[in-house]
Amino acid sequence: WAIFAPYVAAINRLKKERNAVILAHNYMTPEIYHGIADVVGDSLQLAIEATRVEADVIVQCGVHFMAETSKILNPAKTVLIPDAEAGCSLAESITAEGIAEMRARYPGAPVVSYVNTTAEVKAASDICCTSSNAAQIVAAQDSDTVIMTPDKYLAQNVARQVPNKNVVWWDGSCIVHERFTAQDLRDFRDLNPDTRIIAHPECPPDVVDEADFSGSTSGIISYVERERPSKAMLVTECSMASNISDNLPDVEFVGPCNMCPYMKKITLEKVLWSLHSMQGAVEVDPVVAEKAHISVQRMIDLSQ
Ligand code: 13P
Ligand code: SF4
């Protein structure tokens, strides 16, 4: 912590000077999560918090689509992303043309797009979802067939939770969660039978099948805090366990994790620079933003 302390102090000072708040995703490193974040959460929580921000500036410690979502929901604010290259394999996997292609393939079916998409894709969709509300959003669609984009694994997991819907999907995936295999989990459980395995729904369905629980990043944290297993394997990004382990000394975090190279682009140094320079403000074309806002707001309204 000693090497982080000067950055943390400088950022917290600049936050006051700039009247800024830091919204940080659960995958941020511990020095960001514990040192400088004003709000931490999963994608849905961060989106809802963005609507409530009264400060002048939002610094989004997360990936680019999260900063865009904040800007769409609270356009009067300056939204800074400390590294514009902090992308997402899911957001990169589909464009608005892809949405048009799916609509042509399944005429009349509503398009539910994961928030892990660009503003253009959100604008071309009917409603958004996150990992914490996807099944609820799909179930609420007034159509037998529902198009889910772009995460095929989230869609396949949701299809099993909402069996009365014909869920069809785009061929996107998360490079972090697709790397876990069901065999890895079985091997791990054979050697460590008392471990509670908890998987994010961006994992393939056979991986989720091996888990004791599946949920959004905040759902995973709540589950561990509630259940207090003696050993827990979080089948998700590595920072999750690091961020919560100090407050849960009775839980031993075990097993493999995968690093998200996009999330890890956000560092204390870059946060300090963006607050100092005020560079890296996210802009969304107003026409696109207005349509994207409808999709995101519909999701928020259905989730509350
Ligand atoms: P959560 O909404 O579960 O936080 O997942 C978002 C995500 O995919 C982060 O990469
Ligand atoms: Fe995208 Fe996966 Fe990284 Fe999340 S963990 S930002 S879904 S690549």
Domains of the chain: 5-88+264-283 (3.40.50.10800), 91-173 (3.40.50.10800), 182-259 (3.40.50.10800)
Rg of the chain over Cα atoms, rounded to whole angstroms, equals 19
Which ligand is located closest to the Cα atom of residue 69? 1
Per-residue pLDDT of the chain (304 residues; tens, 9 = 90+): 889 999 999 999 999 999 999 999 999 999 999 999 999 999 999 999 999 999 999 999 999 999 999 999 999 999 999 999 999 999 999 999 999 999 999 999 999 999 999 999 999 999 999 999 999 999 999 999 999 999 999 999 999 999 999 999 999 999 999 999 999 999 999 999 999 999 999 999 999 999 999 999 999 999 999 999 999 999 999 999 999 999 999 999 999 999 999 999 999 999 999 999 999 999 999 999 999 999 999 999 999 7
Q: Which of 2, 6, 7 is nearest to 268 (CA)?
A: 7
Tell me if residue 145 falls in helix, strand or coil.
strand
Q: How far is the CA of 178 from the centre of ligand 2 (A)?
A: 10
Q: How far is the C-alpha of 245 from the C-alpha of 296, rounded, in Å?
A: 32
Contacts of 67 (CB under 8 A, 6+ apart): 58, 60, 79, 80, 81, 282
Kindly give the number of the ligand 1 atom that is closest to the alpha carbon of 202. Answer: 8
Residues contributing to the annotated binding site for [4Fe-4S] cluster: 88, 174, 260
Amino acid at site 14:
L
* Helix H or strand E segment including 128: strand 127-129
